[in-house]
Amino acid sequence: MGYLAGFKVTFKKLFEERVTTEYPKEKRPKPPRFHGRHVLNRYEDGMEKCIGCELCAGVCPARCIYVRGADNPETDPVSPGERYGYVYEINYLRCIHCDLCVEACPTEAITESKLFEFSFSNRNDAIYTKDELVVGDDGLPQRQPWELWHEGDDLATSGWMRATAPSGNPDYQNRSGWSGELGYGIRSPEMGQHDRPEPQETDNETEEDGHSGVSH
């Protein structure tokens, strides 16, 4: 009797509406903050944002990031700071796309695209170097032969950014959290953010009004 009950459930499900998609023929739209392949961003003047601080490598739980910084050449600096990322590698055989590297980066240098469909014919291709990670002259990620890019995968690569200060300072809530980027300029604030801080109520205004915090 148990087998018959099981077959009854199976045949019943055959005629119900499917909740799964037939990948790869059908693909769901990706959310704005989808975690995909990383990119290393540049400022609007073309200088690299990475300063080689190695915070992304230190916070990575999968130990897939290797960074080595170097002093900027005085005659031809790579980044605006004193140092830059001389070596930058990500091993995608280890990466779990947790985005902790993005949260840790103090200069918003590393962010993620929406690309997740990529495969490798050898292990060396899985280790992305700085030459492959830094965005091109148009500010878009560089495309590799083994990557399957779709429309929109290379746009809004800084969608996953902090909405607050690293230390959780409430003064930084509801403010844009990133600087200008090559090819994009200053990005528009995300939902719940603003271009500039909203006016704060003062204690004097609250005392004068008595309930609303606005003096009439």
Q: What is the distance between the alpha carbons of residues 148 and 215, in angstroms, rounded to a whole number?
A: 58
Per-chain mean pLDDT for the chain: 80
pLDDT band at 213 (very low <50, low <70, confident <90, very high): very low
DSSP type of residue 213: S
The answer to whether 48 touches 79, Cβ cutoff 8 Å, is: yes
Predicted confidence band of residue 68 (pLDDT cuts 50, 70, 90): very high
Provide the terminal-to-terminal Cα distance of the chain, rounded to the nearest Å: 78
What's the sign of the alpha-carbon dihedral 42, 45, 47, 53?
Answer: negative
pTM tops 0.75: no
Architecture of the domain whose range is 30-161:
2-Layer Sandwich (3.30)
So where are the chain's domains?
A: 30-161
Task: Give residue-wise pLDDT tens across range 116-146.
Answer: 988 888 889 999 999 999 999 998 999 999 9
Buried b (16+ CB within 10 A) or exposed e, 79-101: bebebbbeebbbbeeebebeebb
Confidence check: pLDDT of 176 > 70 = no
Residue 57 tokens, joined: 């490598």
Distances (CA, A) of 59 to 13, 114, 135, 164, 181: 45, 22, 23, 19, 24
pLDDT band at 214 (very low <50, low <70, confident <90, very high): very low
Q: Is the pLDDT higher at 184 or at 187?
A: 184
Check pLDDT > 50 for residue 44.
yes
User: Is 80 in contact with 74 (CB distance < 8 Å)?
Assistant: no
Q: What are phi and psi of 189, to 5 degrees?
A: -65, 150
More confident residue, 193 or 139: 139
Whether residue 88 has pLDDT greater than 90: yes
Look at residue 35 and tell me whether its pLDDT is greater than 80.
yes
Q: Which tops the pLDDT comparison, 38 or 189?
A: 38
**Alpha helix locations (H) across the chain?**
2-14, 55-59, 100-104, 130-133, 203-209
Give the CA distances from residue 2 to residues 5, 6, 11, 15, 182, in Å, rounded to whole numbers and listed in that order: 5, 6, 15, 21, 64
